[in-house]
């Protein structure tokens, strides 16, 4: 479904990615793991067309999207839940949600379906974005991405800063979303939770993917976990 080959990305003169390659199959839940500053966010922002890549190829369902601007990538079916959530502070939760609704295709995910997924959010639908808790903002960010009817969802720091109970709600929602056939690419620091949810993992280290394997393989690879994740 997604094939990323030899991505090289710079910020000015500073090189952040040194040839990132990995792939994801339809229906799969895959992670990008790695310590701070190793290039996970840069990788997905390069895929999304948010950060311009220097060289490399990104294919989505057989289409070369390497030079697509972000709105076109989104339209093709990749939904992003960005690091920091980026909720509009002066719009209500409901307005935030419907802001990304599409008129060009029939909505598979409407607001009602999002509220069914997150009843906590339904109860806060009239609250302004800046008055929502971190957990509610993350539910909203996931809902907003779903409203674009993606085939692939990418979450950058899916549960960062959230309390354990809210984290559980987020993981359960992703489990429900995946059972609908969506592929998911997750960045998160809670390896234990990811081991349960994800099929495969990619470790990003110094701007490259240095290891790929299943949860069982990562479980057994104590040396890899220690070396690249400090766990």
- Output DSSP code: residue 184: E
Q: How far apart are CA 8 and CA 41, in angstroms?
A: 13
Residue 198 C-beta: closest distance to ligand ATP, Å? 17
Residue 39 C-beta: closest distance to ligand ATP, Å? 4
Residue 213 C-beta: closest distance to ligand ATP, Å? 19
Could you say which of 31, 41, 96, 138 contacts ligand ATP (CB under 6 A)?
41
Beta bridge partners of 211: 203
Residue 160 C-beta: closest distance to ligand ATP, Å? 9
Task: Rule CB under 5 A: say whether 9 interacts with Mg ion.
Answer: no
* 3-state DSSP assignment of residue 142: helix
Task: Rule CB under 6 A: say whether 141 interacts with ligand ATP.
Answer: no
Contact present, 145 and 108 (Cβ < 8 Å): no
Rounded to 5 degrees, what are φ and ψ at 208?
-145, 155
Give the range of 40-48, 115-123, 136-144, 145-153 binding ligand ATP by CB under 6 A: 40-48
Residue 34 contact, options Mg ion, ligand ATP, none, Cβ 5-8 Å cut-off depending on partner type: ligand ATP
Residue 204 C-beta: closest distance to ligand ATP, Å? 6
- Give the other-Cβ count within 10 Å of 100's Cβ: 16
Task: Rule CB under 6 A: say whether 13 interacts with ligand ATP.
Answer: no
Residue 107 C-beta: closest distance to ligand ATP, Å? 31
Total residues contacting Mg ion (rule CB under 5 A)? 2
Task: Rule CB under 6 A: say whether 56 interacts with ligand ATP.
Answer: no
Site for Mg ion in 21-60 (CB under 5 A): 40-41
10 Å CB burial of residue 104 (0-12, 13-18, 19+) is: exposed
* Residue number, 41 or 96, with CB nearest to ligand ATP: 41
Closest CA to 143 of 168, 107, 103, 179: 107
- Joined together, the tokens standing for residue 24 give 């994801």
* Residue number, 15 or 25, with CB nearest to ligand ATP: 15
Q: How far apart are CA 119 and CA 113, in angstroms?
A: 10
Compute the half-sphere exposure of residue 72: CA atoms within 13 Å on the CB side of its CA: 9
Q: How far apart are CA 166 and CA 169, in angstroms?
A: 5
Chain contacts with Mg ion (rule: CB under 5 A): 40-41
Chain contacts with ligand ATP (rule: CB under 6 A): 11, 14, 16, 34, 36-42
């Amino acid at each position: 479904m997604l094939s990323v080959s030899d991505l090289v990305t710079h910020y000015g003169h500073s090189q952040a990615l040194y040839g990132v390659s990995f792939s994801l199959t339809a229906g799969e839940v895959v992670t990008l793991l790695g310590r701070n500053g190793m290039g996970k966010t840069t990788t997905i922002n390069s895929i999304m067309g948010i950060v311009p890549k220097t060289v490399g190829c990104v294919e989505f369902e057989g289409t070369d999207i390497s030079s697509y601007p972000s709105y076109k990538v989104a339209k093709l079916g990749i939904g992003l839940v960005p690091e920091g959530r980026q909720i509009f502070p002066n719009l209500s939760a409901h307005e935030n949600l419907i802001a990304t609704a599409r008129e060009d295709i029939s909505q598979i995910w409407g607001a009602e379906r999002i509220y069914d997924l997150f009843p906590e959010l339904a109860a806060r639908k009239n609250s302004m974005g800046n008055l929502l808790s971190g957990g509610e903002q993350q539910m909203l960010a996931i809902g907003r991405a779903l409203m674009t009817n993606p085939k692939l969802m990418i979450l950058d720091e899916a549960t960062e800063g959230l309390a354990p109970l809210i984290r559980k709600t987020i993981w359960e929602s992703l489990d429900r979303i995946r059972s609908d056939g969506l592929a998911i690419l997750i960045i998160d620091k809670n390896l234990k939770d990811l081991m349960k949810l994800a099929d495969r993992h990619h470790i990003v280290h110094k701007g490259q993917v240095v290891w790929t394997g299943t949860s069982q393989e990562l479980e057994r690879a104590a040396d890899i976990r220690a070396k690249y994740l400090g766990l």
